[in-house]
Amino acid sequence: MAIPNTSETVAKIKRGEPFSFSFHYLSEEVVRYINSLFAKIFASVDQIFLLDTFTTVIREICINAVKANAKRVFFSTLGIDIGDRQRYAEGIAQFKKNVIGHFESIEPELKNSDYRVNFSVKKGPNGLVIQVLNNSVIQPEEMARISMRMEKARHYEDFTEAYEEIYDDAEGAGLGIVLTILLLKNSGIGAENFKMIRGEKDTRSLLAIPFELRPWEVTTTIKKQILAEVDGIPTFPENVMELQRLCANPESSITEISDKIAVDPALSSDVLKLSNSAGFISGKRIETIPEAVKIIGLKNLNAILLATSARSILDKRYSRFEQIWAHCNKVAFYARGIALKYRLSKIVENAFLGGLLHDLGKIIMLSTDLGTTNKIADIVKDRKIRTSTVMEEISVGISHASIGRLTAEKWGFPDYLVESIHNHHAPLNAEEKHRDTVFCVYLANILCGIESRRYQMYYTEDEVLSRFGILSDSAFNELHAELKNSFEARAE
């Protein structure tokens, strides 16, 4: 298949233009394209948390469509009419033996056949509608079996329960449709938004992704709780705000600022620690506060004050989230490295600070009371689940990026920092004047996500890559290797 440009396709879909393409076989190229397309769609509408669920679900749907076509091609090679009830069991036994588990063996026959799968996306008034159509008509017995599995899956709480009751050794496991229903239930998309339709000449799977994932009364309640939580977060201490005022005053002396820092042992420790970090390294170890202020400058000192104060407040109010902070530290290093490499000297430290604080909303989100999240799950009749991104996983309607923006605005962060926090998954939503900073943070986060196997290279926005002149896979991989090696060397 000819692969269209994903960023251009996303723009068309957002304008309401229908989009479709077709394929014979679900190759890795097709899978990458679909995943890339929806990584960008979900990021643009602040629903990136749906990506893992969606890619699993849509792969299952596409596999089922290709499998249905493959079954017909295989029956044809055996000289068996798939509608022949007497010989159907014979054909299925051979299909399971020769094709299931060795699906690539039938790829050449599929490509030479008239059977195709058409994948289409259209933006509707309430959300996106995805259709997977294969030009083979599902048999009544097959449809009955699928309908039974879908109906039962709506009542299951976990996959083990489904496996024990529905496993179908004759047709292959038959659990893909159950997995699809369970994932849709637990993501907030809703099992009711998935349908299979038997047409006269084709079989269609329809999946609707609503813009609002939960009932209004549920999301409103939780948003109010989160907003109240953000509202209750303390502002910066008076001594920190006084230091920020001194940093902004060109008449302030280094001695005056250093003395103000020195009276706060915790702040002194943090300033020295961050002054010696990879972000502000000067070539020698910084031992005193006046030395730190001289070397890093007032602008960078103000950045350190923002970072240390934010972390101090969050660590005191919530449990410590060292894994998130470790991720943020690496993103900050990478973001600064990207800015330096592409000679964006004016925003180097802005990029570093944006990376350092980009996930602060996740800490607040993860600290939400478990009892409350379970009550919401009960209201919408879903499983009670708690994962590394609690509120997003049960889709209550506000992302960690939005929570971070609210917190950053409360603390009076500069606009570039608010934009970096809010748009670190959706860089194309950033204001033009802050795009260089946001793009650095976004690309750094993608690279770190690749290392943790959350993202893949082809998820990256083409406009971001173009802005940095990264025009090939090799250039992308070289940048990643350079930053990774530099970070590891610094850590050693």
Please list the pLDDT of the chain residue by residue as tens digits (492 residues): 455 678 889 989 989 999 999 999 998 889 989 999 999 998 888 888 788 788 888 998 998 899 889 989 998 889 988 888 888 888 888 888 888 777 788 888 988 999 999 999 999 888 999 999 999 888 787 788 788 877 777 766 555 555 555 555 445 445 677 778 877 877 778 888 999 998 888 999 999 998 877 654 455 566 666 777 777 777 777 888 888 888 878 888 888 888 888 888 877 887 787 677 655 555 667 788 888 787 677 777 777 788 878 888 887 777 667 888 889 999 999 999 999 999 998 898 899 999 999 998 888 777 765 444 444 444 434 433 333 443 443 444 567 888 889 888 888 888 999 999 999 999 999 999 999 999 999 999 999 999 988 888 888 998 999 999 999 999 999 999 999 999 998 776
Identify which of 22, 17, 108, 111 has the alpha carbon closest to the alpha carbon of residue 62.
22
Instruction: Work out the number of other CB atoms within 10 angstroms of the CB of residue 94.
Output: 15
pLDDT of residue 338: 97
Alpha helices of 49-158 — where are they, by DSSP H? 51-78, 85-98, 107-111, 140-153
Q: Domains in the chain, start-ordered, CATH in brackets?
A: 6-210 (3.30.565.10), 216-491 (1.10.3210.10)
Interacting residues of 160 by C-beta distance below 8 A, sequence separation 6+: none
Answering whether pTM is above 0.85, one says no
Strand order through the sheet with 194-198? 19-23, 117-123, 127-134, 203-210, 194-198
> Is 45 buried (19+), middle (13-18) or exposed (0-12) by CB count in 10 A?
middle
For the record, the structure tokens of 201 come out as 């000449």
Give me 418's structure tokens: 């608010």
Length of the chain: 492
Helices 28-44 and 6-14: angle between axes, nearest 10 degrees? 50
Structure token digits, residue 130:
């995805």
In angstroms, rounded to a whole number, what is the distance separating the alpha carbons of residues 286 and 268? 12
- State the burial class of residue 127 (Cβ atoms within 10 Å of its Cβ: 0-12, 13-18, 19+): middle
pLDDT value of residue 432 = 93
Q: Which helix (H) or strand (E) is 294 found in, with range?
A: helix 289-317
| pLDDT score of 490 | 79
Single-letter code of the amino acid located at 334: Y
Helix (H) or strand (E) holding 290: helix 289-317
Q: What single letter denotes the amino acid at residue 235?
A: T
CA angle 299, 300, 303 (to 5 degrees): 95
